[in-house]
């Protein structure tokens, strides 16, 4: 697994932890309101403050950059360097493909001469 995937997992875990913390804090505020330790209005204000602080913390500390990586096209030299790694079946398939390409090239050349 590459570094990007690992960082993505860490980021998602962090966001999940923040979300869990916000939910727990909200539940605690609701519990205090039920017990009468806070008024409903105080609970609403405290809940809004908690949400605001969580959002600010996320904005401050979480920066997401999406980078799309294009797969690199192998160069002719890369292909030549890897020919010895081919299985006999893969070599046979390559020979057939090259033969087909040569026939197509010959047909195009014949059409051009006319």
Q: Is the pTM value of this prediction over 0.85?
A: no
pLDDT digits (tens, 9 = 90+) for 26-47: 777 777 777 776 677 777 787 7
- Can you read off the two tokens belonging to residue 93? 């398939």
- Is residue 29 within 8 Å of residue 50, measured between CB atoms? yes
Q: Using CB atoms within 10 A of its CB, is residue 46 exposed (0-12), middle (13-18) or buried (19+)?
A: middle
Instruction: Report CA-CA distances (Å) from 112 to 1, 62, 106, 107, 109.
Output: 50, 61, 10, 9, 5
- Is residue 52 within 8 Å of residue 91, measured between CB atoms? no
Across residues 60-79, what is the average pLDDT?
Answer: 76
């Amino acid at each position: 697994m590459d570094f990007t995937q690992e960082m993505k997992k860490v980021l998602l875990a962090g966001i999940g932890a923040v979300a869990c913390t916000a939910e727990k804090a909200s539940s605690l505020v609701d519990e205090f309101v039920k017990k009468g330790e806070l008024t409903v209005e105080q609970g609403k204000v405290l809940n809004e403050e908690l949400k605001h602080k969580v959002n600010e913390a996320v904005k401050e500390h979480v920066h997401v950059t999406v980078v799309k990586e294009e797969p690199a096209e192998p160069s002719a030299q890369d292909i030549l360097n890897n020919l010895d790694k081919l299985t006999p079946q893969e070599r046979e398939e390559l020979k057939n493909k090259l033969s087909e390409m040569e026939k197509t090239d010959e047909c195009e050349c014949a059409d051009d001469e006319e």
